[in-house]
Structure 1
């Protein structure tokens, strides 16, 4: 039984695979992962890989893995720079907004961020079963039957604001051409980080969701540091 030259998986008669120029095989999963793209159909991918030897394919796969490791290492170094950077040295005032006394900006995200809040609504559904009508007098009728009322509660997310983000040691601020909206740390009980945003939980149980980041990890790292560290203000 043939095996995939990349992952070593056994390939049966009906396995999705591509035969290399020197009669080895690569499974379709690996072929699409290392050589494919969203725009490239499986037929064209197969035709391209059939012109390559197994040695050429393995060389390309190694190059891909090495580049992936390099990018991951660079990304980890980038995140680590946010973990260890000296916060007082990056603190600054911003001319576009009046910051409070002893309030400084530490991080800015110059792409549109959406502010969402949980909302709930209640709807009442009335249902009439088998009914009848009794004529009592002119213009007066009595309706017989049963009415069943069902109350439904629904939670949904409502967009409240959107704009560029500024993170200070006191607030999270969104700004656009129409104004600004801020979430003060005094309201914040817990921040739940995600790769594309954050959920801000208050003591009342209400949640605010900030989404729209291409990568929210740097923001979440700086936010956590501002919430947990004491010496963040610049020296006067």
Structure 2
């Protein structure tokens, strides 16, 4: 059953002066051609019937309505390609349509390329929707390429753009979800292998994926211990050490006694997206020194003063781009300033606190 691609359109009524001078609205010529396409199968519309329209309106359609004729051809071509497959009947109808519309070979070829690019890209996106490009889909895409005589350069560009777009979208979803598991890392590799391309990301994406890889390890794998050059209890293990840290006390802090409250996703989101700027302005500098994190407490060994915060006294962690605010069961809560590795310190601290809560 033939599908009506074109729809009947009512003719434009002549204006007062057109009636007075017995003139036909010129736009009705292309409307009549549209209605022929809407009523009759393309193969039944002769060049003579188109010529009759031109004679009645005393115009040459290809000169007056070139873009409309090209649109008729493009609409039909796009319809033929809805299933990505041009049949012999389609080729015959397209050739006949080209004839009655007086389209030259170069114009038809250009339209094939324009429509073909859109159609080929759409089918390519569907072919790799599951992250794999199998041989059957490659054969299907190759047939579309050949039917439309798409330039190899165009095909290669579309292929590369669609594949890289899929992989970048997959990576961006990982970053948005803040979770890079080993399974997701392996899937990235599997996608790239199926597409036969190298995994390449911009500097920002590469750095964020690397940070998420580290965050997953800090959350899920056994924490590695580090050597500690200070005296700690026999039951203590040290998991973090940095020699350049600062201890600040928060000014004008209103203590609110609550249970420990921290969302690890919020910690990750903050440190993944923040810039390295000092945005903590409401603190009082106390001392500089070395920072240690054990399975029981935070230890700060300063030049003039020391600080010891046990995990059960911590109520809340608030991330800052250059450190972490620690609310505790005293009026004087603190800000630990770390120039590097603030995210690692905060994630390890959050994990250790939750283990004892």
TM range (shorter): 0.3 to 0.5
Ranked by relative contact order (alpha carbons within 8 Å, sequence separation 6 or more), the top structure is 1
Look at both structures and tell me which one has the larger radius of gyration over its CA atoms. Answer: 2
TM-score between both structures, scaled by the size of structure 1: 0.47
Structure that is richer in strand per residue: 1
